Amino acid sequence: MSSNSSSVPGFLVVVEGLDGTGKTTLRKGLFRLIESLYGVAPLSILTTNWLDPAVAADLEEGKYRPGPANRDRYLAALRADKRASVEQLVLPALAHRPVIADRWLLSELAFFAVKHDAPAKETYAALEGAIGVTADLTLLLENSPEAAMARAAGRSGDAVRADWDVLDVQTRVRRTYDEVADDPSAFPKLGPIVRIDASQDRAGVLADAWSALREHQLLPALPLKETTA
């Protein structure tokens, strides 16, 4: 049987950015683009979709009711869940297909910076040992907190949180993103960080992300060479 899919290597691409910058649309767009053009369906993972049942209660409490009393327990739970995600999802998938992560490590650094005043490097040091994979690329969608919040506010359901989707919090999140993106060598598990202007239209964001994947040689040039399996 002839197939194109073996021409596409497994790689881990992470999509990060403030709420309302278009991460979901980009994730879906990349999924469709890679599946359609390169013939292999990526695995999409969401960092908010926890995996390790043993720490689910600690994750829920630490994320939605953060405080000094549960800070360390939350950090330990994140370590456990990241380890489970890497071992059960990411590494097995990478043997066959790309993985697209909607938030990964950078978002955790921002959360601890905002909610626990923890420097990004300190949180990174606590988590990196549990993450047995380096992202091949982190795509950071950049927009002003005001513009991102305006877009996020249009969502329905519980996507907008009163203790998180407020201007001062989002401004501090954005500051953490900048701090990390300006010093990528201090955060090697994030891989190369490519900043994308999220104020442009959705198609422009996808085109920039596609270009970044091509420039980092994560996607082969088209047309693919057919292989025989």
Q: Which residues bind other proteins (CB under 8 A)?
A: 2-4, 25, 28-29, 32-33, 36-37, 39, 201-204, 206-207, 210-211, 214, 221-224
| 9 or 66: CB nearest other proteins | 9
| 36 or 185: CB nearest other proteins | 36
**Cβ(26)–Cβ(15) below 8 Å:** yes
Closest distance between other proteins and the C-beta of residue 33, in Å?
A: 6
Show the tokens assigned to 184.
Answer: 């990528």
In terms of Cβ atoms closer than 10 Å to its own Cβ (0-12, 13-18, 19+), residue 113 is buried
| 120 or 209: CB nearest other proteins | 209
Number of CB atoms found within 10 A of residue 92's CB: 14
Closest distance between other proteins and the C-beta of residue 40, in Å?
A: 9
State how far the alpha carbon of 223 is from the alpha carbons of 8, 37, 173, 219, 228, in Å.
12, 9, 40, 11, 16
| 68 or 223: CB nearest other proteins | 223
Closest distance between other proteins and the C-beta of residue 41, in Å?
A: 9
Closest distance between other proteins and the C-beta of residue 221, in Å?
A: 7
Q: How far apart are CA 200 and CA 197, in angstroms?
A: 6
